[in-house]
Amino acid sequence: MARYSTDREVMQTAVHWLEEGHRPLLVTVARTWGSSPRPAGSLMLMREDGQLVGSVTGGCVEEDLMTRYRSQQLGDTFPTIIDYGINRAEASRLGLPCGGRLELLIEQLDSNAHLQALLGKIKENELVMRRVCLTTGEASLHPASAGDDLYYTDEYLKKTFGPRWQILLIGAGHLSEYVAQLAMMMNYSVVVCDPREGNIDHSAFDDCMVVNCMPDDAVQAYATHTRSIVVALTHDPKLDDMALLDALSSPAFYVGAIGSKLNCDKRRERLKTLGISASQLQRLHAPVGLSIGSHTPPEIAVSIMAEITALRYQAKQNTQQPVNAA
């Protein structure tokens, strides 16, 4: 049975299998309707002896695909599109949720050089878009931005590879606990920085990376790409300002800071005197979060993640390309 894997692991396995002389098939979830166990863009790799890496459903579709592959029912012309769950009976047979349907793109991989180039960009924390021509099967690599994701038309499929969304929280206080919990539920990688060792309840951040370095060092180490997010939550100007000075000149997608409007205005004045330009200050979200009347730490955490989510979808819409979607 297939197992869930990262995109990077799937591609590294593909390189390894090609080096061993196999010609694996790469399966991408191109489109879904209704309930779907795995989102569009999910990857699975399979080879002729029955080995699988990755997943498109985590269920019977994988088994059915492998059966069809090994019995040569997929044909010998790639890329090809396969539709699963077209009717209720097939969806039930395959273990898809009621109303679930998915369309899969299947490619024959044969270029190690192309995959090595892709893995090299991923290793360098670059966002890169892999474009597959549905007519010729030609795969090419192109620059991508933070808002890019998956684009699927009658002519091509484009999938973005690179670092996952990561949030760096400055301060390990009560509010950070709630923000971290919400962020992890939304599939963010979470880093918590607080140089005040006595302030950290490590049990509250079990699934996070916790670092005790100074905030500016944390920003330089972890806000290195356009899917980085930095939120300063200590209420200590010395620590928050230290992080913001570096974050506002970093490639981070979002930079925010806690505080009242008055305190945030004072912070902007301080940052100006420290050399932050007017254009850089425009990037600062302070007070952080959407104005939803929040008062308690859980409510403030919701407002913070809501604002970040809204901006992410806005960025996606700004880079959206035509899609062939139902």
Regarding whether 278 and 196 lie in a shared domain, the answer is yes
Q: Do 96 and 219 fall into the same domain?
A: no
Domain end point (choices 108, 139, 161): 161
Going by pLDDT thresholds of 50, 70 and 90, the confidence category of residue 198 is confident
Q: Give yes or no for a contact between 254 and 285, defined as CB atoms under 8 angstroms apart.
A: yes
Our count of domains for the chain comes to 2
Query: Do 45 and 114 belong to one domain?
Result: yes
What's residue 319's pLDDT?
A: 62
156 with 205, same domain: the answer is no
Average pLDDT taken over every residue of the chain:
89
Residue 277 covered by a domain: yes
CATH code for the domain in which residue 180 is found: 3.40.50.720
Task: Answer yes or no: do 170 and 157 share one domain.
Answer: no
Residue 4 confidence (pLDDT): 41
Last residue of a domain, one of 161, 180, 200: 161
Same-domain check for residues 12 and 157: yes
The domain containing residue 24 runs over which residues? Answer: 7-161
Check whether 1 has a pLDDT greater than 50: no
What average pLDDT does this structure show over 183-201? 90
Residue 150, domain member (yes or no): yes
In a domain, 253, yes or no: yes
pLDDT tens profile 75-126 = 888 999 998 875 555 555 665 655 568 899 999 998 899 999 999 999 888 9
191 with 277, same domain: the answer is yes
Question: Taking the alpha carbons of 280, 282, 285, 286 in that order, is the dihedral positive or negative?
Answer: positive
Are residue 56 and residue 71 in the same domain, yes or no? Answer: yes
Q: Do 33 and 123 have their domain in common?
A: yes
pTM to 2 decimal places: 0.79
| SS3 readout for the chain | CCCCCCHHHHHHHHHHHHHCCCCCEEEEEEEEECCCCCCCCCEEEECCCCCEEECCCCCHHHHHHHHHHHCCCCCCCCCEEEEECCCHHHHHHHCCCCCCEEEEEEEECCCHHHHHHHHHHHHCCCCEEEEEECCCCCEEEEECCCCCCEEECCCEEEEEECCCCEEEEECCCHHHHHHHHHHHHCCCEEEEECCCHHHCCHHHHCCCEEECCCHHHHHHHHCCCCCEEEEECCCCHHHHHHHHHHHCCCCCCEEEECCCHHHHHHHHHHHHHCCCCHHHHCCEECCCCCCCCCCCHHHHHHHHHHHHHHHHHHHHHHCCCCCCCC
Say if residue 120 is in the same domain as residue 233.
Answer: no
What is the mean pLDDT of the segment spanning 198-220?
91
Question: Is residue 288 located within the same domain as residue 211?
Answer: yes
| CA separation for the pair 214, 194 (Å, rounded) | 7
pLDDT at 80: 93
End position of a domain, from candidates 127, 143, 161: 161
Domain membership of residue 326 (yes or no) is no
Q: Is the pLDDT reported for residue 325 higher than 50?
A: no
Question: Is 2 among the domain residues?
Answer: no
Above pLDDT 90, what percent of the chain? 68
